[in-house]
Amino acid sequence: MTTDEHVDEQVDEQVDEQVDRTPGQLRLTGYVLAQLALGIVALVCAILTVVGAALMVVWVGTLLLAVSLPLTRLIADAHRRMAADVLGLDAPRPYRALPDHPWQKLLTVARDPMTYRDLLWCVWACTLGWVYALICLLELLVVVTWPLWWWGLGYQMRLRSHVDLWFLATSHTERLEKRVAVLTETRADAVDTAAAELRRLERDLHDGPQARLVALSMSLGLAEQLLATDPDGARRLVGDARETTSTAIGELRSVVRGIHPPVLADRGLVGAVQALALDMAVPVTVTADLDGRPPAPVESAVYFGVAECLANIGKHAGSSSASIALTHDGERLRATVADDGVGGADPDAGTGMLGLRRRLAAFDGTMTVSSPTGGPTEVVLEVPCDLSSPRTTPSSEPG
């Protein structure tokens, strides 16, 4: 029974997919016409590019390429969009980012493997692809084949789109390469951040509690000496020693807070964020709707992120109230920190925000800032993660 239901669901899904995603016959026919027209442009592009490359030694070749390459990308983009629409997929532009300088631009384009795939695609689009499009159009023009046009065009266009995307979309390997590049970068950042944190900890401990303990031991040593000869002096020193101990404990406490706030360990993200909100000078509303707890490292990163945002609100925003919302949509944990202050926050300006971005990047997380001059400011921190131990904690509390 369960299996049957499962199969039914699958079938339903497929039907839904076709109903939702496949464009109607008229739009498909429009695409066919566009492909016929652009096929001729593709022919021109292919010829111009080949001739241009051959004439690179004379300046005319460069000029030809300066026309043909952008044009190729333009029609390739158009086909990518059409194919993406027909298949209901997402087909982003796979090109490398271009520098400003014209010569460097040309060099980048020449080194981009997509350039050559575009060129190959042009050859297909103006030959077999063009004929294919022509056949599709003939189905409409030759009246007796209307049933074929009506029922079959969708499938034909899907096939065509697959072929187009085979040329034009990023391959699996390229996606992996990009992913590796991102991972390498974020891992380096994560290692740097961790090393910097350790250095900071070492310095905090060295300058704070460690120095106090040395002073403490000296005070006690002196007191020990004075005990027989000058009991009053000894008592004073012991009193000093006790004071030094208190200071050392206080410093240790602040170091611990910087590593992992105890309230975060005790109460999780929601409780810890509520505690942060309580310590703000302006009223902060916290709303949370999380079915469980995110993994500890993510909790910590988001906690420090929210803390950074709140610190910025306290320092710069000049706002009269703020709000924090914690949600999870099944894939991503989202923390939205908003205030009604003056706005104009530049996420690239402060080292704090930069550090925050890096910290989140280690988890494939992102930070988006919307802060028009005049406000309001909204910072959204997003980290993909699962929640553990289902537990509903909807709560709303003014801080």
List C-alpha distances in Å: 144 to 147, 151, 155, 199, 201. Answer: 8, 13, 19, 80, 81
Residue 265 as a binder of another protein (CB under 8 A): the answer is yes
For residue 240, the minimal CB distance to another protein (Å) is 13
For residue 318, the minimal CB distance to another protein (Å) is 13
d(CA 246, CA 348): 40
Instruction: Name the DSSP letter for residue 363.
Output: T
d(CA 358, CA 336): 18
| Contact pick of 113, 262, 372, 394 for another protein (by CB under 8 A) | 262
> Per the structure block, which two tokens stand in for 260?
């992992």
Nearer to another protein by Cβ, of 87 and 282: the residue is: 282
For residue 246, the minimal CB distance to another protein (Å) is 5
Taking residues 221 to 260 in sequence order and writing x for each that binds another protein by CB under 8 A, - otherwise, the string is ---------------------x--xx--xx--x--xx---
Nearer to another protein by Cβ, of 127 and 245: the residue is: 245
Nearer to another protein by Cβ, of 156 and 274: the residue is: 274
Q: Which residues pair with 332 in a beta bridge?
A: 384
* β-bridge pairing 322-328 and 284-289: parallel
Nearer to another protein by Cβ, of 44 and 252: the residue is: 252
For residue 261, the minimal CB distance to another protein (Å) is 9
Instruction: Name the DSSP letter for residue 385.
Output: -
Secondary element (H or E) of residue 58: none
375 sits in the region (left: phi over 0; alpha: psi -120 to 50; else beta) called left
For residue 245, the minimal CB distance to another protein (Å) is 7
Nearer to another protein by Cβ, of 179 and 257: the residue is: 257
Residue 391 as a binder of another protein (CB under 8 A): the answer is no
Residue 213 as a binder of another protein (CB under 8 A): the answer is no
For residue 93, the minimal CB distance to another protein (Å) is 48
> Per the structure block, which two tokens stand in for 161?
């789109």
Taking residues 266 to 305 in sequence order and writing x for each that binds another protein by CB under 8 A, - otherwise, the string is xx---x--xx--xxxxxx----------------------
Nearer to another protein by Cβ, of 186 and 274: the residue is: 274
- Going by C-alpha positions, the residue among 390, 358, 384, 380 that lies closest to residue 306 is 380
- Going by C-alpha positions, the residue among 76, 79, 90, 87 that lies closest to residue 23 is 87
For residue 324, the minimal CB distance to another protein (Å) is 14
Q: Which residues neighbour 135 within 8 Å (Cβ) at sequence distance 6 or greater? A: none
Nearer to another protein by Cβ, of 164 and 299: the residue is: 299
CA atoms within 13 A on the CB side of 330: 0
> Collapsing DSSP states into helix, strand and coil, what is residue 92?
coil
For residue 395, the minimal CB distance to another protein (Å) is 12
Q: Which residues pair with 380 in a beta bridge?
A: 336, 368
How many residues sit close enough to another protein to count as binding (CB under 8 A)? Answer: 22
> Collapsing DSSP states into helix, strand and coil, what is residue 325?
strand
Nearer to another protein by Cβ, of 197 and 243: the residue is: 243
Nearer to another protein by Cβ, of 237 and 275: the residue is: 275
Do the Cβ atoms of 152 and 138 come closer than 8 Å? no
Contacts to another protein by CB under 8 A: 242, 245-246, 249-250, 253, 256-257, 262-263, 265-267, 271, 274-275, 278-283
